[in-house]
Structure formats: structure tokens, C-alpha cells
Amino acid sequence: MLLHDTRNSLVHSHSRLVATVGIEDLVVVETEDAVLVAGRAHAQDTKRIVEQLKAASRSESQAMPQVYRPWGHYRTMVITEGFQVKEIVVKPGAKLSLQMHHHRAEHWVVVAGTAQVTQGEGHGDIEQLNSFLLSEDESTYIPLGTVHRLENPGVIPLRLIEVQTGSYLGEDDIVRFDDVYGRMQQISSP
């Protein structure tokens, strides 16, 4: 942050440079997906902006760019019709649920660490699962409807880029078959 002639203000930056010049009694908060500027006396009214975002069905009202899960976190980098790109970080020793998707395929590229991938032979096939390791700069493709799981057997965080393609990319397009975190409800997209 660069602040010049800034008085009685709160300025917070999450991901990029924020500079202020000649301001007083303001709240300025920058995140990866939005910037808020409010008078200090009206900071409590930011809930009205959130209500407007919800009424307009804007994603900023619901999802943060970085979403935390028991196994680690993911960050949506690009989302548009037909594809989505995420950075996924899996803690050492953690694993995602054994799952499948009805509406999307996934391509994983390992950026750092080691991934153990478990994958079914065919669509929805939980009986014949194969496991294999991927190292840095290696990738795999998970076709639509294929049972799969991602694990980090290593001692450093596993970082990968996931490219999702399909007709529906919502987080509710997950059918879980096994989950060490107790999230066994089966979820399908509308």
C-alpha cells in the first residue's frame, strides 16, 4: 500500500497495490474479486451492497476466490461458459473424496509435490479402481462420469491446476462414494 495524506482511514489490500491520496474517514478494502470504498460512518451499511449482489445473482455475494476445505483449499482463476480453471492445494497426507461428476470432465496438471490419483476404469465404475502417482509437470485426464480421488502422499503441499470442461461446472455436481471428512451426502446438479 502507498498512502499519502491519508487520515483516519482503514486501507487493506489482499492481492494488489492500493494507493490513496488526500482521503479522510474512508474504509478501502481490496480483495481478489472486488474493491469496497465506504465512508467510515457508513461501513456497517456494506451489508446492503451484499444484498444487492445477491439480488443480482452475482458470484461475489457467495463465493470467495479461495475456498477452504478439510483437505486444503482451491482458488478459482477463470470461470466462463463451458470451462473453469482452479488452483488446488492439498495438505500433506490429505485426500479428497472418492467422487464423480455427471456434467464435467477434469484435467489435472501437477505444479508442485506428488499426487496420488485413484481412477475408475469406466463411467461410475467403483469396482475397478487404479491408482498411480503424478509428479511435478505431469498430468492426467478424468473423463466425465469417471470415479476418481486425489491424494497428497507427500510431505509438502500438493499444488495443481485443474481445468474443468462441461455443460455445468457447479460445486453441487459431486457424487461422493467415500469421504474421510464425513461429507457422504450425494449431491447432483439440478
Superfamily of domain 63-178, CATH level 4: Jelly Rolls (2.60.120.10)
Per-residue pLDDT tens for 74-101? 988 888 889 999 999 999 999 999 999 9
Residue whose entry in the numeric block shows the C-alpha cell 478494502? 29
Residue 50 to residues 5, 25, 38, 136, 144: CA-CA distances in angstroms?
Answer: 30, 22, 13, 40, 35
What per-residue confidence (pLDDT) applies to 53?
83
Residue 5 has pLDDT above 60, yes or no: yes
Compute, in degrees rounded to 10, the torsion defined by CA atoms 103, 109, 112, 113: 70
In the chain, where does the domain assigned CATH 2.60.120.10 lie?
63-178
Residue 117 has pLDDT above 90, yes or no: yes
Residue 185 has pLDDT above 60, yes or no: no
Per-residue pLDDT tens for 43-52? 778 778 878 8
Q: Which three cell numbers stand for residue 124?
A: 461410475
Residue 190 has pLDDT above 50, yes or no: no
Q: Which residue has the higher pLDDT, 143 or 128?
A: 143
What per-residue confidence (pLDDT) applies to 182?
84
